[in-house]
Copies of this chain bind each other. A is one copy, B any other.
């Protein structure tokens, strides 16, 4: 005997979370692409699609609350649902960052970029990988995987700091760059935040699986 109904609902929810996650990942990558290729339409698209992400996140959140109300989950189930609830709001926020990058894309417009995008796509790839991995390990309840994700965040922070220093230098070198540099600064910041939140997701995953009190690593 098992709680078939409940398990099915939980699995559906996991699936929805995964699909929300890939939407977000796509949005992040698209927004960076748009930036790189100066494709304003694409940027606009990312911005518009954020509403969809928001709605989906709200939906997941509501389903979690409904499940809590109707199934009174306990122990592992409770941790799972709470994790889903919290992760969905992380994803929603990550969607906002993608939207933010999209907006910056529009602000920069057809202007040339300050410099060829090298480090930013790197951090973007890293962050989006972390996002993907964090969700995969969440679904597969893979604690070790989750720990690896958390570990990856260090690299992101390093690259971010490097980008930051570089951009500040560029501003100092040429005040004309300041506007565009700050734009890129925001982009890097947003990506760093995405990685941070992926880290959060993995921390939640560890809590979900082990039930261990969350070991809050400051970000």
**Chain A residues within 8 Å of B, Cβ to Cβ:** 50-51, 54-55, 58, 61-62, 65, 68-69, 72, 74-75, 78-79, 82, 85-86, 89, 92, 96, 99, 168, 171-176, 178-179, 182, 185, 213-214, 216, 218-219
Complexed CA–CA distance, A82 and B172 (Å): 47
Q: Is the interface of A mostly helix, strand, loop or mixed?
A: helix
CB of A218 within 8 A of CB of B85, answer: no
How many monomers of this chain does the complex have? 2
Complexed CA–CA distance, A121 and B140 (Å): 47
Report the minimal beta-carbon distance from A193 to chain B, rounded to whole angstroms: 10
CB of B78 within 8 A of CB of A68, answer: yes
Report the minimal beta-carbon distance from A170 to chain B, rounded to whole angstroms: 9
CB of A58 within 8 A of CB of B179, answer: no
Complexed CA–CA distance, A79 and B61 (Å): 11
Q: Who on chain B is nearest to A185 by CB?
A: B182
Complexed CA–CA distance, A164 and B171 (Å): 16
CB of B179 within 8 A of CB of A172, answer: yes
Q: Who on chain B is nearest to A99 by CB?
A: B218
Complexed CA–CA distance, A58 and B51 (Å): 30
Report the minimal beta-carbon distance from A61 to chain B, rounded to whole angstroms: 8
CB of A218 within 8 A of CB of B86, answer: no
CB of B58 within 8 A of CB of A214, answer: yes
Q: Which of A51, A175, A178, A179 has the most CB of B within 10 A?
A: A178
Residues of B contacting A179 in the complex (Cβ-Cβ under 8 angstroms):
168, 172
